[in-house]
Amino acid sequence: MAATVYGFPRQGVNRELKKAVESYWSGATDADTLLAAARELRLQRLAQLRDAGIAEIPSNDFSLYDHMLDTAIMVGAIPARHQAEADRLDRYFAMARGTADAAPLEMTKWFDTNYHYLVPELGPGTEFRLDATKPLEEFAEAGMVTRPVLVGPVTFLLLAKPEPGAPAGFEPLRLLDRLLPCYAELLQDLRAAGAEWVQLDEPALVTDQPPAVLAAAKRAYDALSAERSRPKILVATYFDRLGDALPVLAGTAVEGLAMDFTGPAAANLTDLAAAGGIPGKRLVAGVVDGRNIWIADLPAALSTLGTLLGLAQTVDVSASCSLLHVPIDVTLERDLDPQLAGWFAFAAQKLQEISTLAKGLTDGRDAIAGQLQVNAARRAARAASPIVRVDAVRARVTAVRDTDRHRASPYDKRRQAQHERLALPDLPTTTIGSFPQTASLRKARAALRSGALTAEAYDQAMREEIRSVVAEQEALGLDVLVHGEPERNDMVQYFAEQLNGFLATTHGWVQSYGTRYVRPPIIVGDVSRPEPMTVRWSTYAQSLTRKPVKGMLTGPVTMLAWSFVRDDQPHADTAAQVALALRDEVADLAAAGIAAIQVDEPALRETLPLRQAGRAAYLAWAVESFRLTTSGVDDRTQIHTHMCYAEFGDVLQAIIDMDADVISLEAARSNMAIVDDLSRASYPNEVGPGVWDIHSPRVPSVDEIAAHLRTALGSFPAGRLWVNPDCGLKTRGYPEVRATLANLVAATRHVRAEL
């Protein structure tokens, strides 16, 4: 029984990797300096894992930017537009970030995590060629036998997309037979270098897959395991239950399978037992939650492991997935109450838990009696803590009635009341909330933190900014204004800092993409709102204009999705608490005269469970918590919501059920397709499909925006259509924001004249 992990945070204790990479980008340091810093970090990690008792240590889980990008380079899948770049490192970063003349690869979410990977582009003409430099070098430099980690061939192809210009209907998975020889050659090289095991990550197999994909997985692993000279193969799966793919993988000759036994994947235990286990194979059991920050229930994990012992030839202990998704070390949190700190296991603490469990299984519980005692005491303290359970909050959730989740009147009646109050033209124009976060705003925030600026002076700076944002919008001629969100560092953190029950960290950085790291707050206890959070900003903005200013809140689903969520009660209960806190804020905004209130839910789609089986229950609580947030206002208050970063096809019914008066959605890149989808689904309320892809500084012309609007009008009536960008403008600069919004207003006037 050995301890292992599939991967460890890459950034270093003080985000040294971020600094090294960004300093290379800025030209301040050269490639050798960057590569030396990266190597140093890898060697430190290695020592840390070894010292923590991890017996089988991974390699090649490190990345300068992203592991999917590494894999694309490893198999030679380099888009034509990047092939001219001669320097290896510059080409790597060009694919990640783009250059003046070559767009980067698209970026998207890694399954249902907040990590973003770069999407490889493949076409019928793609010829794969192995470049094994990275895995071989990282194996060799370790100075010990490590287990190289690779993205498996099936997941690699399933997550890739057709290259620009590929024939319609081209599926990258068709390239499997061309890709496998690359992997076979790599396995041979790794064996020659001394690798005993290799880990092939296949998380795509925990999503619902048609028989053709399962057949491809079988073909892939039959072929790879038939190679004569290779390390033993561990196929790693995580994030959900393996389901239909379990018998497929079990039926191949691979030597090992890694499975997740936490959260929704706990069902793997019964599935595995029902299948009669995987006799003759090695099972790596992910019993420590790799995605959340709570200490493990060690006795429960031991009992799972005990059951698993009879179901495989050998059983090793691991986290449920790579530790990439949790912060690096809780002992860095010097401001944290030590009692609370004991409740959390970040990556370093999870290593201890895993090696403790391995020791407990090998040497018996007595050998880890001390650890079990500490673990039990900490869990008991958490369960009994007054921070965790607040009776008043619970009583309020219990008292919620179904009518609290329904607006007083149906949409048609509300619409009339809102149109009388707001007196908007057809095709009203608006924005999604944030305006550019300028350097002077960031400076003011830093000055507040360092004490160089008093709270009053900071407030004054924010008011100045709001005044200028309102004036900009007046000058542009927009119909419904926003205050611009200058006071918000982040749309979740801003609220988390003001709500009881949320905890912020100082060093809890988690990689979001490339060199971007976020510090998700932790929901430790019952959530409530001590006082209004946004009212003074919204009312100040409203005082400056006769046009309506939208109130702006982050919805309950997104508050949960971008935080570490408590594991001691259903998410639905936590969401209801957050919803009630936000409901009070909505009521206060309405009472202060704010006529339109937007409750953002950009994360609603991305948190959808990976497998169909879990989706209905999730969508039920997601919709209910949104409605609980927004249903307390009278007919005359217009409720908006906003979603982005996703395909909405799977959640159309949920969008309808949310019953917001207006929803704004990302739509520019898909040429307004969502409007037709909503119309076919008989969506009854108002919609603002985005006409500007804000991910790019490109300024769309009046004609282009007008064309988008005409397309939308092809399937939706003008009286229910809004005009807005795809998302908030905080990452854009003022020049392109002014130019685009001017075009947006002009295009709207043209199209209105045609009605």
Annotated catalytic residues are 695
Piece in contact with ligand GLN (CB under 6 A), picked from 166-174, 241-249, 278-286, 725-733: 725-733
432 touches ligand GLN by CB under 6 A = yes
Integer angstrom CA distances of residue 659 from 76, 411, 452, 653, 722: 48, 8, 46, 10, 16
- Distance, in Å, from the CA atom of 324 to the CA atom of 10, rounded to the nearest integer, reads 7
Shortest Cβ 577–Zn ion spacing (Å) = 24
644 touches Zn ion by CB under 5 A = yes
278-288/256-260 β-pairing: parallel
Q: Which H, E and C letters describe 174-234, residue by residue?
A: HHHHHHHHHHHHHHHHHHHHCCCEEEEECHHHHCCCCHHHHHHHHHHHHHHHCCCCCCEEE
Of 701-730, binders to Zn ion (CB under 5 A) are 727
Shortest Cβ 636–ligand GLN spacing (Å) = 23
Asked if residues 598 and 642 have their Cβ atoms less than 8 Å apart, the reply is yes
Shortest Cβ 643–Zn ion spacing (Å) = 7
Shortest Cβ 598–ligand GLN spacing (Å) = 7
For residue 504, count other CB atoms closer than 10 A to its CB: 15
Which residue among 642, 708, 720, 732 contacts ligand GLN (CB under 6 A)?
642
Which among Zn ion, ligand GLN, none contacts residue 3 (Cβ within 5 to 8 A by kind)? none
510-513/516-518 β-pairing: antiparallel
Kindly state the tokens that stand for 312. 């495989």
604 touches ligand GLN by CB under 6 A = no
Backbone CA torsion sign across 436, 441, 446, 449: negative
Residue with tokens 């794969």: 128
Helix (H, G, I), strand (E, B) or coil at 53: coil
Piece in contact with Zn ion (CB under 5 A), picked from 581-589, 601-609, 628-636, 695-703: 601-609
Cβ closest to Zn ion, residue 290 vs residue 728: 728
602 touches ligand GLN by CB under 6 A = yes
Count of residues that interact with ligand GLN, criterion CB under 6 A: 13
Using left for φ > 0, alpha for ψ between -120 and 50, and beta otherwise, residue 655 falls in: alpha
Cβ closest to Zn ion, residue 159 vs residue 694: 694
551 touches ligand GLN by CB under 6 A = no
Cβ closest to Zn ion, residue 7 vs residue 602: 602
Site string for Zn ion, 415-454 (x = CB under 5 A): ----------------------------------------
Integer angstrom CA distances of residue 371 from 230, 291, 350: 39, 22, 13
Asked if residues 324 and 397 have their Cβ atoms less than 8 Å apart, the reply is no
Shortest Cβ 447–ligand GLN spacing (Å) = 23
Helix (H, G, I), strand (E, B) or coil at 718: helix
Which among ligand GLN, Zn ion, none contacts residue 118 (Cβ within 5 to 8 A by kind)? none
Shortest Cβ 642–ligand GLN spacing (Å) = 5
Cβ closest to Zn ion, residue 115 vs residue 645: 645
Asked if residues 499 and 528 have their Cβ atoms less than 8 Å apart, the reply is yes
434 touches ligand GLN by CB under 6 A = yes
469 touches ligand GLN by CB under 6 A = no
Which residue among 189, 316, 487, 600 contacts ligand GLN (CB under 6 A)?
600
Which among ligand GLN, Zn ion, none contacts residue 514 (Cβ within 5 to 8 A by kind)? none
Helix (H, G, I), strand (E, B) or coil at 526: strand
448, 449, 451, 457: CA torsion to nearest 10: 10
Which among ligand GLN, Zn ion, none contacts residue 152 (Cβ within 5 to 8 A by kind)? none
What residue ranges bind ligand GLN (CB under 6 A)?
A: 432-434, 485, 491, 552, 600, 602, 642, 644, 727-728, 730
